[in-house]
Structure 1
Amino acid sequence: MWDYLDPVARLLDEHARVVRWDQRGCGRSERRGPYTVARFVADLDAVRERLAGPRTVLLGHSWGAHLALRYALDHPERVSHLIYVSGTGIDADRGWHPHYERNLRRRLGARLDRWEALGARDRTPAEEREWAVLQWSADFADPDAGLRHAEEMATPWLGLNRDCNRAINAEVKRELREADLTARCRALDLPVLIVDGPEDIRPRWGVDSLHQALPNCSRVSLAGSDHLPWAENPHDFRRAVTTFLDAMA
């Protein structure tokens, strides 16, 4: 996708200078690989060096939470705090995706048939946008409000990079199976905040092993929120993040 974190930046603008970017191959950035985790870590480092200085706070959401964690593991001296929002954890043995698929279908409700029909065929750009809006609407606890939020996320529509999505997802799955991320997390000596929404259709127990592995970690569950907790509980999201940063100042 493209950058959709403008609401997060606005919540934190009075507390911090916020830097965002469209990741490689996505949104307004050039669609040019390679699409690898290492390349995305290097891109993040280039953004940090150019715009954020020698050390920075990293906040990552969903796939971005994994990217932020990987960056912190590779470059801990360049990160002051890590904020891990709605990630899916590091436990390869307790697969979360089947639970997500079931919860997604349940949450879609009356929109399920249309979503499945669109997903079963080649789509026009307009249909691709409709399919994405339907799927994203399930990432909010309130289905009607979710549709409105999803429409806002899809405007302007900058298109999805399927090649990037497939390549990164496949590599992350391999990494979780083959790399000992748990041991690396145990050695990560910097403050970490995990932020979850209890209504997230991705099971929150997937993050338990990450929470347990990190030596300096706190975790906040924001009532009434799903995968994008700042959208459904902005007050508590801002309070959790700013309190964490103030405590570690």
Structure 2
Amino acid sequence: MTAITEDGVRLWASRSGEGDPLVLCHGGPGLWDMFGDMAAMLGDRASVIRWDQRGCGRSQRCAGPWTTDRFVADLDVVRRHFGLDRMTLFGHSWGAQLALSYTLAHPERVSTLIYVSGSGIVPASDWHAPYTDNLAARLGEDPERLARWRELPKRDPERALLQWTADFADHEHALEHARRMADPWFDINYECNKALNAETAGSWGTAVLRTACTSLDVPVLIIDGAEDIRPRSAVDSLEKALPRVRRVVLPKAGHLPWVEAPEGFRDELETVLGRTSRPGRR
């Protein structure tokens, strides 16, 4: 399906499964939806809506604008395209930041926010240096992989794939998981990435943002993987600010906890999506 924004940009969108609407916001910035496995996992619990953000993946390449406000407006276009009054809103990594921004702007349209592997509301400078150290250490578990990653140009797809292996706690299967993330491959939108990261550097970590979070009257479920190389302490700031929040840390899982802890991840989402019987589960 295609949702058309007010400025004429075509956004790729997909709907599958049955149940109440669950809208997924992918990470990046500049990447694309990689939630095919998750949509299949949850298809008997929810009507799962996936979309590629502006200028990314299967959506129309465009000249921006690359701002959080524009992406929030695009997400609302997707909501209206599928005729939703309210939705459970799920965001992963950068998508968690986008989903939080949307919920702060439109709390009446979000029944629950599911915030996965985000970086909280502190400035990026608070967590980025430890993340960089952890990235090198995780890649260094395979010296050849680390050496290859360091020698490749920054925009080489192979370098991105090798970097993604560090997002998994299970070293043995990390390359397999990363290859699955990269299939299908779409060019990373580095212009989008640079602009939105620069915007975040100037606007995240402010007293205004924290105050907005303290007033948010929407239930929030925070899910982290215990082995995520992005310091989970950064998310403490968000947890402390939110008045209606529950936080879960899944052991032996990295940045994509639904991949490495699928049963625990699904169980947690079922607390939001509702439980009904299904074969093989009690």
Q: In which range does the TM-score fall when normalised by the shorter chain? A: over 0.9
Match of 2:151 in 1: 117
In the alignment, the residues of structure 2 paired with residue 144 and residue 84 of structure 1 have an alpha-carbon distance, to the nearest angstrom, of 27
Find out whether 1:68 has 2:99 as its counterpart.
Answer: yes
SS at match of 2:148: helix
Q: Distance in 1 between matches of 2:182 and 2:83?
A: 28
Please list the CA deviations of residues 136-172 of structure 1 after superposition, one character each: whole Å capped at 9, or x if unmatched: 0000001231110111111121110000000011111
- Deviating above 6 A after TM superposition, structure 1's stretches of 4 or more consecutive aligned residues are none
Q: Quick one: distance in 2 between partners of 1:225 and 1:55?
A: 30
Higher relative contact order (CA 8 A, sep 6+): 1
1:107-186 paired onto structure 2 within 5 Å: 107-109=138-140, 110=143, 111-119=145-153, 128-178=156-206, 180-186=208-214
TM-score, with normalisation over the residues of structure 1? 0.93
Cα distance in 1 between the residues matched to 2:71 and 2:210: 21
TM-score (norm. length: structure 2): 0.83
Gaps of 5+ in 1: none
Q: Please, what is the CA RMSD of the aligned residues?
A: 1.5
| Paired amino acid for 2:249 | S
Q: Distance in 1 between matches of 2:123 and 2:58?
A: 33
Q: Which has the higher helix share?
A: 1
Residue 222 of structure 1 and its aligned partner are, at CA, apart by 0.7
**Aligned pair in 2 of structure 1 residues 17, 93: CA closer, same or farther (>3 Å)?**
closer
Whether 2:266 is the aligned partner of 1:238: answer yes
Equivalent residue number for residue 81 of structure 2: 50
Check the 8 A contact 1:19/1:52 in 2, yes or no.
no
Give the distance between the partners of 1:186 and 1:246, measured in 2 at CA.
26
Distance in 1 (alpha carbons) for counterparts of 2:254 and 2:83: 30
Q: Which residue of 1 aligns with 2:3?
A: none
Q: What is the identity, as a one-letter code, of the residue corresponding to 1:130?
A: E
Query: Offset at 1:10?
Result: 1.4
Partner of 2:57: 27
Note if contact 1:100-1:203 (Cα within 8 Å) is conserved in structure 2: yes
> Residues 60 and 83 of structure 1 are in contact (CA less than 8 Å); yes or no, is this contact kept in structure 2?
yes
In terms of fraction of residues, the more strand-rich structure is: 2
Deviation at 1:91, TM superposition (A): 1.4
Identical pairs, percent? 54
Query: Contact (CA 8 Å) 2:124, 2:201: kept in 1 or not?
Result: no
Q: Distance in 2 between matches of 1:129 and 1:209?
A: 34
- Residue deviations 1:35-80 (CA, integer Å, cap 9, x gap): 1111100000000111151110100000000000000000001111
Aligned residues: 241
SS of the residue corresponding to residue 50 of structure 2 reads coil
Gaps of 5+ in 2: 1-30, 276-282
In the alignment, structure 1 residue 77 sits paired with structure 2 residue 108: yes
